[in-house]
């Protein structure tokens, strides 16, 4: 407290609401209280600041309890025309000053952040004017300052300075869920659906939604439509029908435009398809459904990280730095001057208005353009190359993971587009050794993006030296020129076995690439593995249901999650659910710690607490199991609370993959094929993964050296840095 540059913080949410705003507010409030600061909540955005009175209220620890899983915003939000005037901002400044507020966290889009920047710049003059008018006491030599930090709160994901904005991932969940459901009815009736999604001037939701759902055409604001764009769209969809596709999904961003720059409506697109394609076409406008419901696990964690970082930034820098913005870049919190954020966020819209689409696409960044290029390839109905460049073998090895099918789909189509045959091994390495291979063609993987598990089949099997003769024979018989292993640690270890004997078997002297797919997220060479995000969302959905029982009894739940020797799922589930404690294999469990946890629970339930959640990794301790911890805590609870245990099991693996996992699978699948093509004819074993926001390849031996077994090199994984945050909040 003594070293803090601010004493009193206020937090507000402004502009359109976004799922995850509550998580950000909770993090700001609790982190501020943890550091001994006073914290206020401003209701109804800037309008509440202008009105003052009860709209500005002190918040305590319990004020933000139980809000993590709620959509919308506890503080409310509103557009404020009055705040746009200097007189309105003076009223806001007076009200904030009277409460002693010298630090402000603003969660919203570019309009809200613009207001924050202007208020901070005008702050000294506004207060002097108010003092002259007798509205506030202000010493003549006073130099009042207002420290401001902005956070991205927008489902549109159109804010510069961050890879993702709070709410965008949840909106993407809603879009992909809707698209998946539309496929069912579209297939039954052989219909075409036009799905309109939000985004203002930004096509992110349409692009990412199209890539994740396997849509057959998208229309976005950043891409200039050719004069005869509709003929190109109709021709593409017609080719799909002729190839046997019984339905079509077109995703259109609300900000899409005609070639002449005028708005393009979904109804117009539907009419074109009905008349020119001869298809029975329906329009679905998702509207505010995209904003609603519980936030995704990703949005809860993102908002929590940014909210806590905002408080620490204000304490460290105060008003010594001009108003700034915190976002997530390369999976790390990053600060950017607020003036730069607002200017560059609005630049894309100006380019679109001016018809400068090339600059608009450039401003969106290379990842946006790459995903657009990939989507255009995936929406074709046949490869452009019909050569025989070689044969790529795809194997899904080890435990299945949600998103494997999405990866196989993209690998197949990208490889076919380059003239390669694609073969899939059925039931993993064991099927491969039996020579149980099937050919994967362009249309045979249609619809795989939404499917959980592995359509090829997976299984745990570790190659033995005696298996290599058979393996080499299968590869040679099918003229395999490259191999992609998609899976968890089994895939990595089997690649190691092959690499160790590569000199003895010419058939193994091919490029081999391992793609990380495991719900445990315990794989080297990557920050995220395919399947982990889906598992995390499954866990959070289950915990949210457990929380619904809170009103019935005073109860604590010990919830066991998967993860093997990696605490990723447990720790991130604790962050996203607001759990009171998390037990990780990287730390272990001790009797003294359990005693402290029991005492803390007793105090909390005596103070009125009704529910407590404790997350336990399945291998957190060989001695203190889930059931033993439940019995210990239950005995210590006496009449204050009772304790139940829940083991989620394979529920964590099930269901359709999340949008994050589908897009990650698509990006890694595309990059895997391109990496193999670059290394054509050259033997080598490598892994591919996501570091920050960049796809990277790593030599297999180098990647395996990263593995940090808990007993040897604990706390090395990036997510372990979030342990203290989870426990503070």
Residue with tokens 């509709």: 230
Q: Are 524 and 491 in contact (CB under 8 A)?
A: no
Residue pointed to by tokens 């997220």: 521
CB 687 within 8 Å of CB 525: yes
Q: Which of 17, 110, 156, 533 is catalytic?
A: 156
Helix (H) or strand (E) holding 482: strand 482-487
Q: Any catalytic annotation for residue 156?
A: yes
Residue 566 to residues 664, 693, 709, 718, Cα–Cα distance (Å): 20, 22, 9, 12
List the structure tokens of 44: 């109804």
Q: Count CB atoms within 10 A of the CB of residue 135.
A: 16
CB 130 within 8 A of CB 91: no
Residues 6+ apart with CB under 8 A from 232: 226
In order of 22, 587, 620, the CA distances from 590 in angstroms are 34, 9, 10
The vertex-556 CA angle with 555 and 562, nearest 5°, equals 140
Cα separations in angstroms, 103 against 54, 111, 332: 19, 19, 23
* Contact call for residues 42 and 325 (beta carbons, < 8 A): no
Spatial separation of the C-alpha atoms in residues 699 and 496, rounded to whole Å: 11
Q: Please, are residues 519 and 570 in contact by the beta-carbon 8 Å criterion?
A: no
Give φ, ψ of 209 to 5 degrees. -65, -40
Residue 558, strand partner residues: 614, 645
Alpha-carbon distance values, 155 to 105, 220, 280, 304, 509 (Å): 19, 16, 31, 16, 47
Catalytic residues: 156
């Amino acid at each position: 407290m003594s070293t803090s540059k601010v004493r009193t913080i206020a937090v507000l949410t402004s502009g359109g609401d976004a799922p995850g705003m509550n998580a950000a507010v909770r993090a700001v409030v609790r982190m501020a209280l943890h550091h001994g600061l006073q914290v206020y909540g401003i209701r109804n955005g800037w309008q509440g600041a202008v009105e003052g009175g009860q709209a500005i209220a002190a918040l305590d620890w319990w004020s933000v309890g139980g809000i993590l899983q709620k959509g919308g915003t506890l503080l409310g939000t509103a557009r404020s025309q009055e705040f746009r005037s200097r007189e309105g901002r003076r009223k806001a400044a007076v009200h904030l000053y009277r409460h002693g507020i010298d630090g402000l966290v603003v969660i919203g889009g570019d309009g809200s952040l613009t207001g924050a920047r202007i208020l901070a710049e005008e702050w000294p003059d506004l207060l002097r004017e108010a003092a002259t008018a007798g509205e506030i006491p202000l010493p003549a030599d006073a130099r009042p300052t207002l420290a401001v930090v902005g956070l991205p709160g927008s489902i549109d994901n159109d804010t510069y300075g961050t890879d993702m904005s709070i709410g965008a991932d949840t909106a993407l969940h809603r879009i992909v869920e809707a698209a998946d459901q539309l496929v069912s009815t579209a297939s039954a009736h052989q219909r075409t659906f036009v799905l309109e999604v939000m985004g203002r001037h930004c096509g992110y939701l349409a692009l990412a939604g199209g890539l994740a759902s396997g849509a057959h055409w998208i229309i976005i604001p950043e891409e200039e439509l050719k004069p005869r764009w509709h003929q190109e769209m109709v021709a593409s969809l017609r080719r799909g029908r002729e190839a046997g596709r019984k339905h079509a999904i077109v995703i259109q961003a609300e900000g899409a435009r005609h070639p002449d720059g005028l708005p393009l409506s979904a109804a117009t697109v539907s009419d074109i398809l009905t008349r020119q394609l001869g298809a029975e076409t329906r329009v679905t406008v998702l509207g505010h459904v995209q904003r609603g419901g519980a936030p995704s696990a990703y949005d809860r964690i993102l908002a929590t990280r940014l909210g806590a970082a905002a408080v620490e930034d204000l304490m460290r820098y105060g008003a010594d730095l001009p108003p700034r913005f915190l976002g997530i870049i390369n999976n790390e919190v990053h600060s950017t001057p607020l003036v730069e954020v607002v200017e560059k966020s609005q630049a894309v819209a100006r380019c679109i208005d001016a018809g400068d689409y090339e600059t608009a696409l450039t401003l969106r960044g290379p990842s946006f353009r790459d995903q657009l290029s990939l989507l255009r390839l995936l929406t074709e109905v046949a490869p452009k190359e019909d050569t025989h460049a070689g044969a790529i073998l795809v194997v899904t090895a080890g435990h299945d993971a949600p998103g494997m099918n999405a990866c196989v789909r993209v690998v197949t189509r990208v490889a076919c587009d380059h003239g390669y045959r694609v073969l899939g091994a059925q039931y993993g390495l064991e099927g491969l050794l039996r020579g149980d291979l099937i050919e994967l063609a362009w249309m045979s993987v249609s619809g795989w993006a939404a499917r959980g598990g592995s359509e090829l089949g997976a299984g745990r099997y570790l190659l033995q030296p005696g298996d290599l003769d058979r393996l080499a024979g299968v590869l040679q018989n099918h003229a395999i020129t490259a191999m992609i292993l998609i899976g968890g640690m089994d895939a990595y270890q089997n690649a190691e076995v092959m690499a160790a004997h590569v000199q003895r078997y010419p058939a193994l002297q091919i490029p081999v690439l391992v793609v990380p797919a495991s719900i445990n997220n315990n794989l080297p060479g990557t920050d995220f593995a395919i399947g982990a995000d889906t598992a995390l969302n499954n866990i959070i959905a289950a915990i949210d249901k457990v929380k619904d029982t809170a009103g019935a009894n005073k109860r604590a739940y010990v919830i066991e999650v998967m993860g093997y020797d990696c605490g990723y799922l447990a720790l991130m589930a604790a962050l996203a659910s607001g759990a009171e404690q998390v037990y990780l294999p990287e730390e272990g469990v001790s009797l003294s710690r359990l005693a402290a946890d029991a005492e803390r629970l007793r105090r909390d339930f005596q103070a009125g607490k009704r529910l407590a959640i404790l997350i336990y990794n399945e291998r957190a301790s060989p001695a203190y199991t889930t059931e033993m911890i439940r019995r210990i805590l239950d005995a210590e609870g006496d009449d204050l609370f009772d304790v139940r245990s829940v083991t989620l099991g394979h529920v964590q693996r099930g269901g359709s993959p999340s949008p994050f996992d589908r897009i990650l699978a698509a990006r890694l699948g595309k990059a895997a094929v391109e990496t193999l093509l670059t290394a054509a004819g050259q033997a080598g074993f490598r892994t591919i993964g996501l570091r920050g926001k960049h796809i990277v390849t790593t030599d297999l031996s180098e990647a395996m050296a990263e593995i940090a077994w808990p007993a040897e090199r604990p706390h090395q994984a990036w997510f372990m840095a979030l342990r203290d945050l989870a426990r503070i909040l």
